[in-house]
């Protein structure tokens, strides 16, 4: 039961955004900036964002060498370069919007660990350097073998390391906190613990069914942006979209520990970095693809054991460490790494399927969703 005052002031909006991750926030931000007089609300099912945006590893990356090579199986080089450009522009936009100091951006550079003899490595770096040259303006990848021992990795296992000059790290929590604050400061109403059940077209716009605790109510908007990434499939089962769970482990503080850079291996499936003198490591989804194709949060013991073993074997071979915390997040994947940005009828626009690169492309996907909403 709602009051007359609620009915006249809180029910009807110009724009409603469903999903309070990085994409939903950037969509709301762009709408608020372009249409300062519009009534805008963002609906989030969790108390905090409850998908991937506060669960990720905080890598500000655009693709390691073997990841770019692997993606050649599913995308043309032109499509891949467009995607890299979108990632680079998205990262730039993220940094410009929130400031490097606010999100603890560190241009630390990235490294990819290789465990075999890695044939033609120099030529493979050169090939991708020249492909990326028009986007980046200088060489990206270089041989970093001499840094393997200096970083403390086991030279018995890590045979090569490829440096990537323009990668960095952020503090994910600070990023999403600042983004929420900014969106709220522009007058966007943010409703958390508000789960959207579905929506229906209506002659004057769209009716959105929302569950809040035991109650449900219908909000109305002229346009709706759906930014629920992997969780979108329940409404649109025909979408080429699959969930993918990712897990992260973080150690207790290790005296004098700090890695210089952000690190990946096996086509980007694994990643690690340091934060606050702790080791953060995640990934390994490919060890149990089927089990990890889920929207249920949780830690797969097989993946956790593999990550811990890698730490002991070649990341911190001479250091004892203890896992203090572990968590999972849910990503959205498709047959290739291009996100879906589309208007499914005049009034509902989707910005979803960000894969493992949402820190990089979230800003640009959210902005594109907003542009479609206010220009159609
Ligand atoms: C473990 C892990 C590590 C990662 N590491 C990195 C990294 O280092 N670098 C990188 O670039 N990317 C990384 N990613 C990927 C990145 O985090 C995602 O691509 C990005 O956060 C997706 O943002 P989003 O806004 O599209 O989706 P989400 O963050 O999932 O946001 C969608 C939101 O919609 C909400 N929602 C869902 N259903 C409803 C509903 N019915 N009603 C209301 N709200 C709803 C959810 O609660 C969620 O908050 C990682 C992901 C994971 C899981």
What separation in Å is there between the alpha carbon of 90 and the centre of ligand 1? 15
Task: Please name which of 92, 8, 19, 5 lies closest in space to residue 54, comparing C-alpha atoms.
Answer: 19
Look up residue 23 and give its two tokens. Answer: 């994409």
From the alpha carbon of 329, which atom of ligand 1 is closest? 53
pLDDT at 117: 79
| Residue in 105, 170, 228 to alter for ligand 1 test, most ligand atoms within 8 A of Cβ | 228
Q: How confident is the model at residue 173 (pLDDT cuts 50, 70, 90)?
A: very high
Which residues' Cβ are closer than 6 Å to ligand 1? 18-24, 43-46, 49-53, 55-59, 195-196, 227-229, 231, 246, 248, 282, 329, 331, 354, 356-360, 362
Dist. CA 23 → ligand 1 center (Å): 8
CATH class of 242-333: alpha beta
Report whether 350 contacts 340 (CB < 8 A).
yes
What integer best gives the mean pLDDT of the chain?
Answer: 97
Q: Is the pLDDT of residue 376 over 80?
A: no
Beta carbons of 272 and 280 less than 8 angstroms apart: yes
Q: What are 270-296's pLDDT values in tens digits?
A: 999 999 999 999 999 999 999 999 999
Residue 18: strand, helix, or coil: strand
What's the rounded mean pLDDT across residues 241-263?
96
The atom number, within ligand 1, closest to the CA of 232 reads: 38
Q: Does the domain spanning 1-57+172-241+335-376 belong to CATH 3.50.50.60?
A: yes
Which atom of ligand 1 is the closest one to the Cα of 262?
8
Which residue out of 52, 304, 355 has the highest number of ligand 1 atoms within 8 Å of its CB and is therefore the one to mutate? Answer: 52
333-367 pLDDT tens trace? 999 999 999 999 889 999 999 999 999 999 999 99
pLDDT at res. 1:
81
* CATH 3.50.50.60 location in the chain: 1-57+172-241+335-376
Pocket test for ligand 1, best of 104, 263, 358 (most atoms within 8 A of CB): 358
Compute the distance between CA of residue 162 and CA of residue 113 in angstroms, rounded to an integer.
7
CA of 359 to the centre of ligand 1 (A): 9
**What are the tens digits of pLDDT across the range 207-240?**
999 999 999 999 999 999 999 999 999 999 999 9
Given CA atoms 182, 188, 194, 196 in this order, what sign does their dihedral have? Answer: negative
Q: Which segments of 53-194 are extended strands (E)?
A: 59-60, 110-114, 141-143, 160-164, 168-169, 189-191
What's the gap in Å between 72 CA and the centre of ligand 1? 25
Q: Give me ligand 1 centre to Cα 75, in Å.
A: 23
The pTM assigned to this predicted structure is: 0.97
CA-to-CA distance for 333 and 338, rounded, in angstroms?
9
pLDDT, tens digit (0-9, with 9 covering 90-100), for 294-327: 999 999 999 999 999 999 999 999 899 999 999 9
What is the distance in A from the centroid of ligand 1 to the CA of 138?
A: 32
Best of 16, 17, 18, 19 to mutate for ligand 1, by most ligand atoms within 8 A of CB?
Answer: 19
Q: How confident is the model at residue 116 (pLDDT cuts 50, 70, 90)?
A: confident
- Per-residue pLDDT tens for 22-70? 999 999 999 999 999 999 999 999 999 999 999 999 999 999 999 999 9
**What's the 115 CA to ligand 1 centre distance in angstroms?**
31
């Amino acid at each position: 039961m709602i009051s007359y005052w609620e009915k006249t002031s809180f029910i009807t909006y110009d724009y409603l955004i469903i999903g309070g991750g990085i994409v939903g926030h950037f969509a709301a931000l762009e709408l608020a900036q372009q249409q300062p007089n519009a009534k805008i609300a963002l609906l989030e099912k969790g108390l905090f964002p409850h998908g991937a945006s506060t669960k990720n590893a905080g890598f500000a990356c655009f693709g390691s060498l073997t990841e770019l090579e692997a993606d050649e199986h599913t995308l043309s080089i032109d499509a891949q370069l467009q995607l890299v450009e979108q990632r680079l522009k998205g990262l730039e936009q993220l940094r410009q919007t929130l400031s490097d100091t606010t999100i603890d951006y560190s241009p630390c550079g990235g490294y990819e660990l290789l465990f075999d003899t890695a044939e033609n490595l120099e030529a493979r770096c050169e090939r991708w350097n020249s492909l990326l040259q028009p986007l980046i303006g200088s060489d990206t990848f270089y041989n970093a073998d001499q840094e393997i021992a200096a970083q403390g990795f086991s030279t018995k296992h890590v045979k090569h390391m490829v440096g990537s000059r323009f990668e960095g790290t952020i503090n994910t929590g600070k990023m999403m906190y600042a983004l929420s604050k900014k969106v709220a400061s522009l007058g966007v109403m943010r409703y958390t613990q508000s789960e959207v059940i579905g929506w229906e077209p209506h002659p004057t716009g769209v009716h959105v069914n929302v569950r809040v605790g035991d109650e449900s109510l219908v909000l109305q908007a002229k346009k709706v942006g759906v930014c629920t990434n992997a969780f979108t499939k329940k409404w649109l089962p025909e979408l080429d979209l699959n969930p993918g769970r990712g897990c992260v482990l973080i150690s207790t503080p290790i005296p004098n520990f700090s890695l210089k850079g952000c690190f990946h291996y096996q086509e980007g499936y694994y990643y690690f970095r340091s934060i606050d003198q702790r080791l953060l490591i995640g990934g390994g989804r490919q060890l149990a693809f089927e089990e990890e194709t889920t929207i249920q949060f949780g830690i797969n013991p097989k993946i956790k054991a593999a990550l811990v073993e890698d730490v002991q074997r070649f990341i911190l071979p001479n250091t004892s460490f203890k896992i203090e915390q572990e968590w999972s997040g849910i990503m959205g994947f498709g047959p290739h790494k291009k996100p879906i940005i589309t208007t499914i009828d005049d009034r509902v626009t989707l910005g979803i399927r960000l894969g493992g690169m949402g820190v990089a492309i979230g800003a640009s996907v959210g902005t594109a969703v907003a542009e479609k909403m206010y220009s159609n």
